Every structure is written in structure tokens, then in C-alpha cells.
Amino acid sequence: MKKIVILALSLFTLPALAQKETKPADLGGIKAIGSPANPKVPMRWNHYNDYAMITKFCQDLAKAYPDLVRLESMGKSFQGRDMWVLVVSDTKTGKPDRKPGFYIDGNIHSNELQGSEIAMYTAWYLAESFADEPYITQLLKDKTFYIAPTINPDAREDFIKNPNNPNSPRSGMMPMDDDGDGQIDEDKFDDLDGDGNIVMMRRKSAVGRWKVDPDDPNRMIPAKPDEAGQYEILGYEGLDNDGDGAVNEDVVGQYDPNRDWGWGWQPDYIQRGALSYPASLPETKAVTAFVMSHPNIAGAQSYHNYGGMFLRGPGSEEDVPYYTPGDIAVYDVIGRVGEKIIPGYRYLTIYKDLYTVYGGEIDWFSLGRGIFTFSNELMTSYKFFNQKVDENRFQNDEFNQFDKYLLLSDAYVAWKPFKHPQYGDIEIGGPKKNYIRNHPGFLLEEDAHRNMAFTLFHAYQTPKLAVQEIETKSLGNGLTEVTATVVNERVIPTHSSHDIKYKIERPDYVTLKGGTVLAGMVVENEDMGLTREQKNNPATIQVANIPGMGYAKVRWIVKGGNGKYTVDVDSRKGGLVTKSL
């Protein structure tokens, strides 16, 4: 496996040897290496964008680069917003939908904002760097990127525009009756002091088990057994709006759009957050339809937060047999390189290293469609001081220390008194809604670039096919044996093992033109003279798979042609290639 990783790294870095000499930027000074010098679409990458800003960015990028970027809508959200997709490819070198495709989305969970910014950064970087960076130039000649900045635009807008805490709303905006009383959303979060943040409530109590950290007045820590009469934590800011004695029991959207996919789906009583059936949500339905209509997608990336992880399936132990050693080897190559690209991030398996997920997006892509897919959990407290800490963000003190020394106390609402109609004299305070899960501004651009680089490495490893050689051999009596070798120069095969077994996608087609084809066959072992004849339509050989860093060999018996032959390869996930003799 070490040899494979080294080879993959070398393939990834070869184009960098041909970089152009750096020249002073038009703005004065010199370009910072690895960044577009004079972008046509200027953007701030230390900022979180609302829906209008995302829409404008997509429109501006498509307008600035009409030969590289096309803007589409994959469908409408629950509230009727367009779910934008940026199709990024060099259209002068072929139809985008006939090149190997790579799909990216972010923000499936609405409070996980930065997935959108990282997806947008990727589209921006590809378009703005195409003319100047040979690696990007070749990548867009070979591949097509389908980039959906947000697949949950309604709840993203709610998170940004309305009072929320770092964990709300996690899902979409479809209203639900979560407490089963027959009413919907009657007890939403209430912003008691009107500052736009839903923070915590606490009060002095004889049975309180929390105290103020003597080193940090914003932090609550467990009290010792002999420290009675401390604070009682009452939960997030809120009122009992319906008079049933409970606060915040029916907030918007307590379903989970990452439990709504058509692989391994389970109902809500088994998998909390599921709805009525797979693809109940219009957003899930739109993504599903888009991916189904783009069979060229060979790799995919979904951006979540939090924890600093490159996650692969399976989501549940029941699906372990579907991930074969050959497919896992591909994931290992990409995931282990990822750990080098983003220090502090770890390559993990969902069910084994986290928890069980049924009906998750990553398994639908991987097992439902045969697409090699990662889900990155963005942000980790390792990034604060570049050192490993307890990843339980509720236990370690890194967030408070980082706020103190680097954010200069911008991340927390200081505790202050409030007269609550139900709880009496309380205090409210705690982290602002865009802290804890989401990157602070100056870390956002760095992590956007690193995650983009990981994603581009993954995309680079999608199939790149070539007809390496065409050999002819005279058999006498006007007959010729024509043998073609089709190579795959990247790690990802044209079909995953799961795809082959369950026939998710059609085989690859290798067609000979020139002369009359009398017989066609796949060469299974040339040294042993083993072939498998295809009796129907012998001119177009159906090849089950062209393996990563491997090849497939086919052979025809031809009458006529005068030595002028053309071999065409048509692979859904490997694209179109041709070669003439």
C-alpha cells in the first residue's frame, strides 16, 4: 500500500514541475504562491455568505468565465429557493457531461456553514487559476466539477438571519410536531435580550452542580461534591410560549436530512431524524435526481462539521461486506494523503470510529451509485494551537483559550442577569451562534484551501483513460487480428467492485472502426492465451472494468480495413477517448 500512496502522490504533483515563472501582479507587489493574483470575481474568504450572496457569486463566476463555468439549478428547496450547481470544466475540450465528473456539496446540515464557503472557494479557485496554473488547466480539460454550495438553503438562511445557537437549526425548514401534542413549532427559541444569539440560561440553585471557572468567567465547569449551592443549567434561551411547562420543545426542523437517503434507510424510531420514507425532502430528491442524471460522476465530496475527519462508509456495520478490499484500497490512498494535506484531520470509518448512520448521503453515493465518496468533518480544535487535544469540544478548554488569546474575546456573550417569566432571576451567556462549530474568519481561508486541495487530489484520481497501443497481426486469407490496450492512469477504477457486482452502471464500451468485424473478445490472460468471446455485436466489446493504475485488453478478428483502424472508448465514469492506427 505504501507504494500505491507514493505513486499517487507523484502523479498528483507532476504537473507542478511545469509552473510558469511568477510575475508581479497588476495590483502591485508580487503574487502570493498558490493564490489567484487578480481574480475577475473578488471574494472575501473570511466571511459567511447568505443566500443572496451565494446566488450573486454563482452568477458572477458564470458570467466572468463563460467557457469554464455554467450555472444550473438542480431543483427547489422546501421554501422555493433554487439549489444552485456550478458546472466547472473546460468546455472547449469536450462536453462536460462526457468527462469524468466530480460532485461536491456542502451545508446539508444548516448550522454547518463553512461547507458552502469551501465549495464556493473550490469553484472560484478552479476558474480563477485555469489560465495561470498548468495543473488546474489540465484538470479542467480532463474533468468536470459539479459544485453545489448549499443543499439546505432555507435553514442556512434561517441560521444566518434569525436568532440561533451553534446547534440550531441542524436540519431544514419543514415544520414538525416534535412533542406529539398536535401543534407545530409552538415553542421556538426566544432571543431574550435581542442580540441575535441563543445562548445558555443558568441560575443559582441549592442543587446546582456547575460553577464558574475561576480562570475564565465565561466558562462553566462541574462543581465538586462538597461545593453545594452553585449553578443549575437551564438550557438554551427560551420561553414557555404555549404554557405547557416546557421550553424549546418544538423548534423548527428536528429531522435530519442526512438520514433521508435511499440506502439502508430506517424509520425514525430506529434512526432518529428520519422522515416518512427515503427522499422525503425536496432537497434530497433534487440531489438524487441530479446525480442519477449524471452517470459520469466518479467521485464525490460532502462537507460537514465538526471534528477534523475524512470519513468514508460504511455508515452501519451491516454494510461492511459491500466495501471490498479493492475499493477500500482506493479510499486508503486518498484518505492517507489527506492526513498529510490537512494536519490534525484523521482518516476514519463512520460506523467504526463514530456512530451508526442509516440512510446517510455518503452510503447512497458509494453503494447506491458506485461513487467513491468522502464526507469531511470540517474544523477541529487542533487548528487553534496546532497541537492535539481532547476532541470533545465540551470538555477541553481550547475554545475559551483561543477566544482569549486570538479572538480577543469576540466569541462569547458575557453572562448577564435577566428576569425570566417562568424561571425568575437567571443569567444568560455563552458562545455566539457562529462559534464552536464554524471556523473563525482567519482560519476559514486556510482550511478552505487545504480541503479544496484534498478534494482536487481525489478528483485527480478519477479515471483517466488512454488507448495505449493498437497492434495488428495478419492471419492470412484477408483476416487481421487487432488488439487494443486501454490503460487507466489513475487510482480510481471505472467501476467500483460494488458497482460491478450489482451492475449499477453499464460496462465500458470499446469499439473498433475499420473493416468488417467478424469476432470480438476480451483478453483475460494474454500469456496463457485466454480470451472471452462476445458473440453479440462483436465490434463493440463490453468491458466490465478498467482498474485503477491498470488496463484492459480487447481483440477483434477483422476482414478488410486496409490497416486503417480506429479504437473508441466510451466509459460513463472514464469519459471518451479515441486512437487511430
Distances (CA, A) of 519 to 360, 476, 530, 532, 547: 45, 15, 15, 11, 24
pLDDT score of 228 = 74
Question: In this structure, are 372 and 407 located in the same domain?
Answer: no
**Alpha helical stretches, state H, 386-487:** 398-405, 441-460
Inside any domain, residue 34: no
Question: In this structure, are 349 and 227 located in the same domain?
Answer: no
Question: In this structure, are 138 and 47 located in the same domain?
Answer: yes
As a whole number of angstroms, the distance between CA 6 and CA 8 comes to: 5
pLDDT score of 13 = 47
β-pair partners for 513: 566
What type of residue sits at position 182?
A: G
As a whole number of angstroms, the distance between CA 441 and CA 88 comes to: 26
CATH of the domain at 475: 2.60.40
Question: In this structure, are 516 and 449 located in the same domain?
Answer: no
Question: In this structure, are 422 and 281 located in the same domain?
Answer: no
DSSP 34: T
Cβ contacts of 543 within 8 Å, gap of 6 or more? 486, 507, 508, 509, 510, 522, 552, 554
Closest CA to 500 of 354, 247, 326, 280: 326
As a whole number of angstroms, the distance between CA 352 and CA 356 comes to: 8
What type of residue sits at position 301?
A: Q
Question: In this structure, are 375 and 265 located in the same domain?
Answer: yes
Question: In this structure, are 345 and 445 located in the same domain?
Answer: yes
pLDDT score of 250 = 57
Residue count of the chain: 581
With vertex at residue 188, the alpha carbon angle to CA 274 and CA 75, rounded to the nearest 5 degrees, is 50
Say how many C-beta atoms besides its own lie within 10 A of residue 419's C-beta.
Answer: 9
pLDDT score of 249 = 67
Q: In this structure, is the dihedral angle defined by the CA atoms of residues 93, 94, 95 and 101, taken in order, positive or negative?
A: negative
Inside any domain, residue 170: no
CATH of the domain at 65: 3.40.630.10
Inside any domain, residue 384: no
Question: In this structure, are 181 and 137 located in the same domain?
Answer: no
For the stretch 153-167, pLDDT in tens is: 999 999 999 888 888
As a whole number of angstroms, the distance between CA 444 and CA 382 comes to: 14
pLDDT score of 224 = 87
Distances (CA, A) of 214 to 222, 257, 271, 306: 12, 41, 41, 28
Q: Which three cell numbers stand for residue 463?
A: 479515471
Please state the φ and ψ torsions of residue 208, each to the nearest 5 degrees. -65, 140
Per-residue pLDDT of the chain (581 residues; tens, 9 = 90+): 444 444 444 455 444 434 444 444 456 788 889 999 889 999 999 999 999 999 999 999 999 999 999 999 999 999 999 999 999 999 999 999 999 999 999 999 999 999 999 999 999 999 999 999 999 999 999 999 999 999 999 999 999 998 888 887 777 766 665 555 556 555 567 899 999 899 999 999 988 999 998 888 888 888 988 887 799 999 999 888 777 777 876 555 568 999 999 999 999 999 988 989 999 999 999 999 999 999 999 999 999 999 999 999 999 999 999 999 999 999 999 999 999 999 999 999 999 999 999 999 999 999 999 999 999 999 998 999 998 877 665 567 889 999 999 999 999 999 999 999 989 999 999 999 999 999 999 999 999 999 999 999 999 999 999 999 999 999 999 999 999 999 999 999 999 999 999 999 999 999 999 999 999 999 999 999 899 999 999 999 999 999 999 999 999 999 988 889 999 999 999 999 999 98
pLDDT score of 216 = 87
Domain carrying residue 290: 2-13+40-158+256-379+439-460
The helix (run of H) or strand (run of E) holding residue 298 is strand 297-305
Cβ contacts of 180 within 8 Å, gap of 6 or more? none
Question: In this structure, are 240 and 331 located in the same domain?
Answer: no
Residue 43 three-state SS: coil
Inside any domain, residue 96: yes
Inside any domain, residue 24: no
pTM value?
Answer: 0.92
Question: In this structure, are 215 and 121 located in the same domain?
Answer: no
As a whole number of angstroms, the distance between CA 213 and CA 204 comes to: 15
pLDDT score of 563 = 84
Inside any domain, residue 345: yes
Buried/exposed code over 509-518 (b: 16+ C-beta within 10 A; e: otherwise):
bbbbebbebe
Inside any domain, residue 369: yes
As a whole number of angstroms, the distance between CA 471 and CA 581 comes to: 9
For the stretch 122-161, pLDDT in tens is: 999 999 999 999 999 999 999 999 999 999 999 999 999 9
As a whole number of angstroms, the distance between CA 106 and CA 113 comes to: 8
Question: In this structure, are 402 and 535 located in the same domain?
Answer: no
Q: Which three cell numbers stand for residue 454?
A: 484534498
Number of structural domains, the chain? 3
Question: In this structure, are 139 and 199 located in the same domain?
Answer: no
Please state the φ and ψ torsions of residue 372, each to the nearest 5 degrees. -70, 115
Closest CA to 114 of 46, 15, 178: 46
